[in-house]
Amino acid sequence: MPTRLESAALLIGETFSFDAAPMGGGDLSEIWHLRFETGREVVVKLGGQAAAEAAMLRAMGATGAPVPEVLAAQGDLLVLSFIPAVRLSEAGWAALGKALAILHGADQPPRYGWSEDYAFGPLPIVNGWTPDWRHFWRDYRLEPCLTFLPRGIAARVRHIATTLERFLPQTPRPSLLHGDLWSGNFLLTRAERSETKAVLIDPASLIGDASADFAMLTLFSSPPEIFWRSYGLLPEGYEQAIDVYRLWPALVHYRLFGHPYLGMIESLLDRLEV
């Protein structure tokens, strides 16, 4: 019986002769860098829903946004092209802004949601389609979190979920979103004598308001001005919507990682309730 990494090699027509090294990141999965005797290099991700992630990466790539090539997907095993990374820099932030502008700018059908369910580790993320973005954010993002929150926090989140007309557009321009855009979910790469490029990885995609993609990014990072200039005009209603969009990843982090994220949730609710 081949090991998991040997199975990945078989899926892409390679032999078992390779060097394997674990890669950083992957709180909810294992990630390995394989280098074969031929010199070919790939990334293997173990854990999660490989076919669903592969479909998201292909959808993002179809917009022209930079993503790794999907080489194979079977069960919870995903094989991707290897991308040599460079450190985050001003040029990297600018490249990320350009990549997101491409992703968000591609035309999409006039509906919101996604065709498949997926999960963040033990937390299922249920999806569906709706013509009303507020209904999607209420029914598929905020309300499913009520079951695992402390009673008082759940009541406050429920109030936000039932009054989204105060914060969110009903029918924003439909954009393909990365869906889980923190600093660990994009890579910067640069071929010799070429400009820096941002490559999007580990998506949790959906069709929705482009502002939602900035929620995770600004929850844990402070992108410099060059990022915003590179992206261009922000979606209409960004400022009044962004804290509602930040609330959902904060709730997810509370479910996955516990009490340390409760203060973040309370701070967001305090701002929303003013």
Helix (H, G, I), strand (E, B) or coil at 68: coil
Q: Which helix (H) or strand (E) holds 73?
A: strand 70-74
Question: Crossing angle of helices 238-257/151-161, nearest 10°?
Answer: 150
Q: Give the DSSP letter of residue 86.
A: B
What lies within 8 Å, CB to CB, of 207 at 6+ separation is 108, 109, 111, 112, 113, 114, 174, 175, 176, 177
Active site residues per annotation: 180
* SS3 assignment, position 182: coil
Q: Which amino acid type is present at position 271?
A: R
DSSP 113: E
Cα separation, 97 vs 210, whole angstroms: 12
* Cβ-based neighbour number of residue 130 at 10 Å: 15
In DSSP terms, 20 is beta-bridged to 34
**SS3 call for 82:** coil
- What token pair was written down for 195? 């400009």
Which has the closest alpha carbon to 38: 2, 66, 14, 69? 14
